[in-house]
Amino acid sequence: MSDLCSSQQDDDTQKLSQGPTSYNHKKCNPHIVDDDSGSSASDEDNCITQQTVDNNEFDDVSASQALEDEEMQVGNYTKTRTEKDILVAKLLCRWWYVLPDWPPPNYNYREKLEEKKLKCYSVRDFEDHENVDANGYRKCYQISAFPGVFRDFKGIAYDLRPTEGKPCYNNMIQKTENELISLIKTAIGKQIEILNSSNRDETHLIKSLKEVRLYCCGSYFK
């Protein structure tokens, strides 16, 4: 079983790894930290949803991820992985087909920004404000491609996304095997549905997905 899983680890999701359009990293979020400078709320509504960003913002994402996953070795699969671990892995590479969007659209980051003593500005206005205001709040902006990840004037990234509903190993491993199997079934079904409507010949990929589904779920789909 482990040999089949390993051989299909990347093949079954190669063309679908970006997910459907509903999984959009550039979701809007109207919530902001109030500006003590006296500017209107409407002027600040774009501080968390600023869509125009410098190219170097995308380079900041690795730094933000490192804050949370600095001890995780990506791509190394131990020989002691359980069958449940494999099910979790198969779900996490297609979670956006079956689980709610994460982070949630319109999530209010106000409280977490307050806790970190951060004040959010749009990228356009970021340089126009002092690094630390009279109340001790440090200026920051949101990395628009990753809602919930903020960068301050020192370049430090803060991942303020909620842990609840996060599609990660620690959360998914808490589900039962039957729950994981059901989610995988639904996700792969949606993948196949999309491939069937493709203008290209996706026969090989569809076959691979069906094999993964049978491997993960066994007689469940017979």
Q: Please give the Cα distance from 18 to 5 (Å, whole number).
A: 21
Predicted pLDDT of residue 81: 84
Between CA 148 and CA 158 the distance in angstroms is 8
Highest mean pLDDT: which range of 10-19, 72-81, 188-197: 188-197
Number of domains present in the structure of the chain:
1
Q: Indicate whether 45 pLDDT > 50.
A: no
pLDDT for the residue numbered 213: 87
What is residue 48's predicted lDDT score, i.e. its pLDDT?
Answer: 52
User: Any idea which of 3-17, 86-100, 115-129, 182-196 has the lowest mean pLDDT?
Assistant: 3-17
Average pLDDT over residues 90-115: 95
Count Cβ atoms within 10 A of the Cβ of residue 191 and give its class: 0-12 exposed, 13-18 middle, 19 or more buried: buried
Q: For residue 131, give every residue at least 6 positions away whose Cβ sits within 8 Å of its Cβ, in sequence order, or none.
A: 138, 139, 153
pLDDT mean over 116-134 = 95
Residue 183: per-residue pLDDT: 96
Beta strands per DSSP E along 63-125: 118-120
Global pTM value? 0.58
Tell me which amino acid residue 71 is: E
Q: What is the average pLDDT across 41-70?
A: 46
Higher pLDDT, 195 or 59: 195
Angle subtended by helix axes 203-217 and 83-92, to nearest 10: 140
Q: Are strands 118-120 and 138-142 parallel, antiparallel or unpaired?
A: parallel
Domain containing 53 equals 2-221
